[in-house]
């Protein structure tokens, strides 16, 4: 009975947030870069991931309620965009226990300034099934601003690959995000490179790796977070019911 009451409170709170937030601000911006390069410097514990000449950057607008892609854009080639993920690795107490803090920045075809700027705090650094994986939370680099920067309101991200999905803005290979000021958080940042051994062994020498990937999403607050928690709660209740 108590669990049902808690769930109802979640539903009411989520409904209030959802109804008070414009529909366009309930969308998620996802990004994915393949064929990245990694440079790790042992002396400074500095860890950098950047694009190469063969990298591409794929950005989507996703309706996280219906799980459908509404718009997308792709930038081909390292000369057409810049992405820099700059981390300070920290050796925590205990074996193979590391954390990371730093920044993520990337541009679209206008490489004169960044279109996305975020601070990163890791929640998982591990080697799993032959891959180094770093996952973390994104937050606005400048407090009380946004992760989506330097592209106005609405925020516009331009691609170069000639995609045909026009989306709500009517322009193919271009992403338009309304209410960019509400996008001050992110989830599921993933840096993934093929490696072997342990974390302590990996971070004990300088490294240069290629063919990695970076994935993540920028979310609006607070509706996405609240509804995400609500979704997990509902799934949990259903699983227990039919177990």
pLDDT of residue 109 exceeding 70, the answer is: yes
Structure tokens at 99: 């954390």
Report how far residue 191's alpha carbon sits from residue 49's, in angstroms, rounded to the nearest whole number. 8
**Which of 63, 77, 66 is CA-nearest to residue 30?**
63
* pLDDT, mean over the chain: 83
CB within 8 A of 113, min separation 6: which ones?
Answer: 107, 150
What are phi and psi for residue 199, nearest 5 degrees?
-60, -45
Average pLDDT over residues 157-178: 89
> Is the predicted pLDDT of residue 163 greater than 80, yes or no?
no
Cβ-count burial of 29 within 10 angstroms (0-12 exposed, 13-18 middle, 19+ buried)? buried
- Conformation bin of residue 208: beta by default, left when phi > 0, alpha when psi is -120 to 50: beta
- Model confidence over 51-61: pLDDT tens digits? 998 999 999 99
Task: Please tell me the distance from the alpha carbon of residue 131 to that of residue 149, in angstroms, as a whole number.
Answer: 32
| Strands 116-128, 98-106: pairing kind | antiparallel
Q: What secondary structure letter does DSSP report for 77?
A: S
């Amino acid at each position: 009975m108590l669990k049902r009451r808690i769930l109802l409170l979640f539903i009411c709170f989520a409904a209030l947030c959802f109804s008070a937030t414009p529909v366009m601000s309930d969308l998620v911006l996802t990004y994915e870069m393949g064929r990245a390069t990694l440079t790790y410097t042992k002396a400074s514990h500095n860890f950098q991931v950047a694009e190469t000449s063969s990298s591409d950057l794929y950005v989507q607008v996703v309706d996280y309620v219906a799980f459908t892609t509404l718009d997308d854009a792709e930038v081909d080639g390292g000369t057409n965009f810049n992405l820099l993920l700059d981390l300070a690795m920290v050796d925590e107490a205990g074996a193979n226990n590391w954390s990371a803090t730093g920044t993520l920045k990337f541009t679209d075809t206008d490489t004169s300034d960044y279109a996305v700027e975020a601070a990163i705090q890791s929640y998982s650094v591990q080697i799993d099934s032959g891959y180094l994986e770093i996952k973390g939370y994104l937050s606005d680099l400048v407090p009380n601003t946004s992760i989506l920067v330097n592209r106005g309101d609405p925020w516009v991200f331009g691609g170069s690959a000639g995609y045909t999905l026009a989306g709500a803005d009517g322009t193919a290979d271009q992403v338009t995000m309304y209410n960019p000021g509400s996008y001050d958080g992110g989830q599921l940042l993933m840096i993934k490179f093929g490696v072997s051994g342990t974390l302590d062994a990996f971070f004990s020498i300088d490294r240069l790796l290629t063919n990695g990937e970076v994935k993540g999403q920028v979310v609006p607050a607070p509706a996405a977070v609240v509804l995400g928690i609500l979704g997990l709660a509902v799934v949990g209740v259903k699983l227990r019911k039919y177990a």
